[in-house]
Structure 1
Amino acid sequence: MRLHSKLMLLIVILILLIGGIFEITFKNILEMNMKKEIGSKALAVAESVANMPQIEEAFYEDDPASIIQPIAERIRKQVGAEFIVIGNRDEVRYSHPNPVRLGQKMVGGDNGHVFKGESVISESVGTLGPSLRGKAPIFSKGEVVGVVSVGYLQTDIEKEISTIQKKIFTDTFLILIGGLMVAFLITLNIKKALFGLEPKEIAWMYQEKHAILESIHEGIIAIDTDGRITVVNENAHKILRVPNEVLLRGKRIDEVLENTHLLAVVATGQAEYDKEIMIFGEVYLANRIPIFNKKSDVIGAVASLRSKSELAKLMQELTHVKAYAEGLRAQTHEYSNRLYTLLGLIQLGSYKEAIDFISKEVDVAQGFIQFLMKEVPDPIIAAFVLGKFSLASELKVDFTIDRESSFKDVPNEIDRDHLVTIIGNLINNAFEAVRENGKAEKRVMLFLTDLGKELIIEVEDNGRGIESEDNEHIFQEGFTTKKRNSNSGIGLSLVQNAINQLGGSITFSSNPGEGTIFTVAIPKSKGK
């Protein structure tokens, strides 16, 4: 059974139950009140009749019934009682609605307390049937000489209760119909609010949403229109430096984190992408998106937070991969050209020249590789420089590494990715610079040394140099003086970021039209 059907059935049962309980309770209360009211009325009439002087005096006449009967009947008709029976100490009737029963003994057996001088309300069965009676003693000269019994039949009381109960039942039925209509509207609205989903589906979606939020690497924070947090995942807790057991949901966002701009997004309904935000001294990139309902009203906003340093590291890794790929491609292309040259010499029968060509290439390659293996034993850095050497051959750039270079004492704690980023981007910039200098000779030289307490990386080129007005901007992300590559303006900013991570420094010297030298100093141990 679907949710709205269950709700409809439960509400109907609840209404029927409430209606039934109301009907029974009201009937009991009504019956009790009516009996109390009629009993009090009967007793009041009985006491009034018992106190009438004519009734008391009639007890001393030869025929009391002839005096008492007319008085009792007149009063009975006036108060609407079923009977007013007056009897003496021997319970002989002096009045009765049925004259035939005059002179007969009273029935019911409920006069004991009355002859003791007490007025009572009782229920008993008389000659006219079950009745509710009010009984009062008749006093004469301080003695009880008789009894007045005023009664109303139970059947008449039940008829009156039944009449009222029918009206109550009609009203209850109308309430039931109204309740059913309300129940239908409630279930319809609940179904609409839940988008027709069943509880199991909602529970599954909640678990799925929780799993998705926790699997996302970014920190996720969502708020409602009042600025109160509605969703926050584990990574957001880490970013905010708040333990997971601390409940953030329900708190105002400005109490937890300032300058989120989420409230502004809620107010304007405009999304904001890749905006920088500082949290505990670390820069994060924030995407802020408004949340809309079906009516296109803003009902909240959600923000995703991603560490900018992580993005920079990812970019560096992609740069490394690209550099490795370019190096391998260049090396493949270069050796393909040499193989074609060798093939041509063999086809021409120039075997001696072919042997000399092979020997020369082997000597050059082996010499360079042996130098790298000896002076730059780190395989990652050596392989990367070798790849750049092959790329330079393809680009027709004279790329050399200073024979005085030595990079043997590189501490293990220094991140090789940062070193590759620094060396690779400086060399790439140098290649671009010499290709645009318009000179026939295109030279780039790399110098590496680990002497002393610092690692020194120096890249020199004979490119067109850097204009003095650009000196302050070259390390800014996006700034470039090149036209050749639309992706320029990133390399030197990555170099600067990597150097900052290693606690180093970078300087440069440039002569416009002659070339540039970049010098990087990285401490082998931070703090020394």
Structure 2
Amino acid sequence: MRRRRSLASQLLAWQLVVVTLLLVAVGALTVVQTAGNFRSNEERRMLAVAETVAANSLVQERMGNWRELSAPAETARSLSGASYVLILDDRRLVIASPDPAQIGSTLDTRTTALEGRSWTGTAGDSIEAHVPVFDPVSRRVNGMVVAGAEDPGIFAGALEQPVDVLRYLAIALIIGVTGSLLLARRVKNQTLGLEPHEITALVENREALLHGIREGVVGLDGQNRITLVNDHASDLLALPEDAVGRSVEELELNDRLRDVLTGRATGVDQLVLRQGVVLTLNRMPIESGEGAVVTLRDRTELLALQHELDASQHATDTLRAQAHEFANRLHTIAGLIALKEYDEVTHYIHQISSAQDQWRTEVSSSIGDSAVAALLIAKASLAAERGTALRLAADSVLGRVDEALSADLVMVLGNLVDNALDALSSLSADGAGKWIEVGVVQLDDEVQVVVRDSGPGVAPELAEEVFRHGFTTKAASHGERGIGLALIRRACLRRGGSVSVSGSVFTARLPW
């Protein structure tokens, strides 16, 4: 199997390729610029040679005598290092040349010298300068001087200064290689030493994990923008399709959910209600501090099961309270018999029966639903054991209702009465003692449940918070508490009703 190259080595190889290409391009540009500078310098040098010869008085006066003109032309060529120096008359005939065979021939080349203007440029393989020769008396152009040097090619300038060029290229190469090594090391550190195929596998596994687990997962950046969300989280939070990239503050979420997602509300297993669903959220900040990951689970079914268990627990507590109360009454009757107070025994039994019959009669005459009536009768015994009087409001009236509404009423009444008992449990009885009043009124389109007690009630600033958070003041040692009011709110909202609190008075509306 072919061994994979590491990310660092791949980056280094590509960086070296880029650096090499860049150096080649810079070197080529340098050679071209140097060659251009070399040609320009050679043109100026040839122009100086040609001007020197053209200014010679002997050349100006003896334009027709080639033997006298050969000497100054050859002298100029030898001293300047030019390849050749030619003198031509006004008909372009060569009068003086280092090549004797060229004398008398016509030089066919482009020039402006015979028009009185100097010319420099390339002629074939040579760099030439043409300078006009003026007659000293008439100042008429009667010839020209051509000074030329062979064009050494494009690399001549660079080869004249090879040390400098190579030095600069070597420095650039060292800088490029060093930068490539540092970049490769930095990238490797930032990717935690993972190679490209490992990063690809990690991303693929993450996607499979996110969309395969049954828990919702939401990723947030440092500005509380959603960076990732799996399908389950999107369904539970009812997020729009374009939620990724948007801030939590921009989405239509309730304040409690925003607080948990942004970290303003801290703690584990934070309870949140979202569109009638009870969610448990846990927020884990990223170690770098740039964001967090939030996991969420649907606790609705679990809380429904917990509610059923709580109902069983309440029934057990009620039976225990009744058994305790019954045992106390038996002990009292036994004591009276031992004292032979038979009349008092009869009177005590009659008193107990009358009180029980009175409460059952009061509840049965006002409450037509058997489940609700049974709940109230059982709660009275539990309240009596805790030193609290449970009474029914005088305007209470409820007929038979369907099973769904009956179950919701039992849940709402049970939680509200339990909430009141817990609120009164820490208070000492004074005056008329501790009491709870329950009112159930059936209207044309809804059932109103009102539970009030003799406790201090809920502070006005917490009137909404108690329902949104599943607020509780019960001891943490009792387990996960405070969800009862949240369940009441959920049941009321599901039916299109509402629940509110004012002081120690809770009012629930359940349409039917």
Compute the TM-score of the two structures, normalised by the length of structure 2: 0.57
The alpha-carbon distance between structure 1 residues 169 and 260, as it changes in their structure 2 partners (threshold 3 A), is: farther
Using the TM superposition, give the Cα deviation of residue 20 of structure 1 relative to its aligned residue in structure 2, in angstroms: 1.6
**Match in the other structure for 1:131:** 126
The alpha-carbon distance between structure 1 residues 233 and 95, as it changes in their structure 2 partners (threshold 3 A), is: same
- SS of equivalent residue, structure 2 residue 15: helix
Match for 1:503 among 490, 498, 502? 498
1:121 aligns with 2:111: no
**Match in the other structure for 1:38:** 42
How do 1:105-504 and structure 2 match up within 5 A?
105-106=102-103, 110-113=107-110, 117=114, 119=119, 121-124=121-124, 131-140=126-135, 145-155=142-152, 159-165=156-162, 167-203=164-200, 205-206=202-203, 208=206, 212=210, 217=216, 221-224=220-223, 229=225, 231=227, 233=229, 243-245=240-242, 248-249=245-246, 273-274=266-267, 290-293=285-288, 299-302=289-292, 304=294, 315=303, 317-324=305-312, 409-411=400-402, 414=405, 416=407, 419-420=410-411, 422-423=413-414, 426=417, 453=444, 455=447, 470=456, 477-479=471-473, 486-487=478-479, 490=482, 493=485, 497=489, 501=493, 502-503=497-498
- SS of equivalent residue, structure 2 residue 146: strand
- SS of equivalent residue, structure 1 residue 300: coil
The alpha-carbon distance between structure 1 residues 472 and 91, as it changes in their structure 2 partners (threshold 3 A), is: closer
CA offset digits 1:287-345 (Å, max 9, x no partner): 7665443xxxxx434385989xx8799646423234347869999xxxxxxxxxxxxxx
Answer yes or no: is the 8 Å Cα contact 1:447–1:457 preserved in 2.
Answer: yes
The alpha-carbon distance between structure 1 residues 40 and 406, as it changes in their structure 2 partners (threshold 3 A), is: same
The alpha-carbon distance between structure 1 residues 76 and 506, as it changes in their structure 2 partners (threshold 3 A), is: closer
1:5 aligns with 2:16: no
The alpha-carbon distance between structure 1 residues 210 and 290, as it changes in their structure 2 partners (threshold 3 A), is: same
The alpha-carbon distance between structure 1 residues 428 and 284, as it changes in their structure 2 partners (threshold 3 A), is: closer
Using the TM superposition, give the Cα deviation of residue 25 of structure 1 relative to its aligned residue in structure 2, in angstroms: 3.0
Aligned residues: 422
Matched residues in 2 for 1:506 and 1:260: separation? 19
Matched residues in 2 for 1:422 and 1:58: separation? 136
Paired AA for residue 410 in structure 2: L
How do 1:84-123 and structure 2 match up within 5 A?
84-87=85-88, 91-96=93-98, 101=99, 103-106=100-103, 110-113=107-110, 117=114, 119=119, 121-123=121-123
Answer yes or no: is the 8 Å Cα contact 2:210–2:217 preserved in 1.
Answer: no
Matched residues in 2 for 1:257 and 1:448: separation? 35
**Match in the other structure for 1:81:** 82
Using the TM superposition, give the Cα deviation of residue 179 of structure 1 relative to its aligned residue in structure 2, in angstroms: 0.5
The alpha-carbon distance between structure 1 residues 458 and 159, as it changes in their structure 2 partners (threshold 3 A), is: closer
CA offset digits 1:79-116 (Å, max 9, x no partner): 442332335558455353xxxx4x43259975444598
The alpha-carbon distance between structure 1 residues 87 and 205, as it changes in their structure 2 partners (threshold 3 A), is: same
Matched residues in 1 for 2:313 and 2:35: separation? 98
What are structure 2's unaligned runs of at least 5 residues? 320-363, 386-391, 429-436
Using the TM superposition, give the Cα deviation of residue 22 of structure 1 relative to its aligned residue in structure 2, in angstroms: 2.2
Matched residues in 1 for 2:302 and 2:185: separation? 51
**Match in the other structure for 2:331:** none
- SS of equivalent residue, structure 1 residue 117: helix
Answer yes or no: is the 8 Å Cα contact 1:133–1:149 preserved in 2.
Answer: yes
Answer yes or no: is the 8 Å Cα contact 1:114–1:136 preserved in 2.
Answer: no
The alpha-carbon distance between structure 1 residues 38 and 13, as it changes in their structure 2 partners (threshold 3 A), is: same
Paired AA for residue 177 in structure 1: I
- SS of equivalent residue, structure 2 residue 511: coil
- SS of equivalent residue, structure 1 residue 223: coil
- SS of equivalent residue, structure 1 residue 84: strand
Q: CA RMSD in A?
A: 6.5
Answer yes or no: is the 8 Å Cα contact 1:504–1:520 preserved in 2.
Answer: yes
Using the TM superposition, give the Cα deviation of residue 58 of structure 1 relative to its aligned residue in structure 2, in angstroms: 2.2
The alpha-carbon distance between structure 1 residues 421 and 137, as it changes in their structure 2 partners (threshold 3 A), is: same
CA offset digits 1:189-235 (Å, max 9, x no partner): 111112123445445545626973997547654325xxx73636489
Matched residues in 2 for 1:408 and 1:259: separation? 39
Answer yes or no: is the 8 Å Cα contact 1:47–1:136 preserved in 2.
Answer: yes
CA offset digits 1:359-417 (Å, max 9, x no partner): xxxxxxxxxxxx9xxx7588xx89x96xx89x99xx9xxxxxx9xx9977435774945
The alpha-carbon distance between structure 1 residues 427 and 72, as it changes in their structure 2 partners (threshold 3 A), is: closer
Matched residues in 1 for 2:217 and 2:190: separation? 30
Aligned-residue sequence identity (percent) comes to 15
Paired AA for residue 525 in structure 1: P
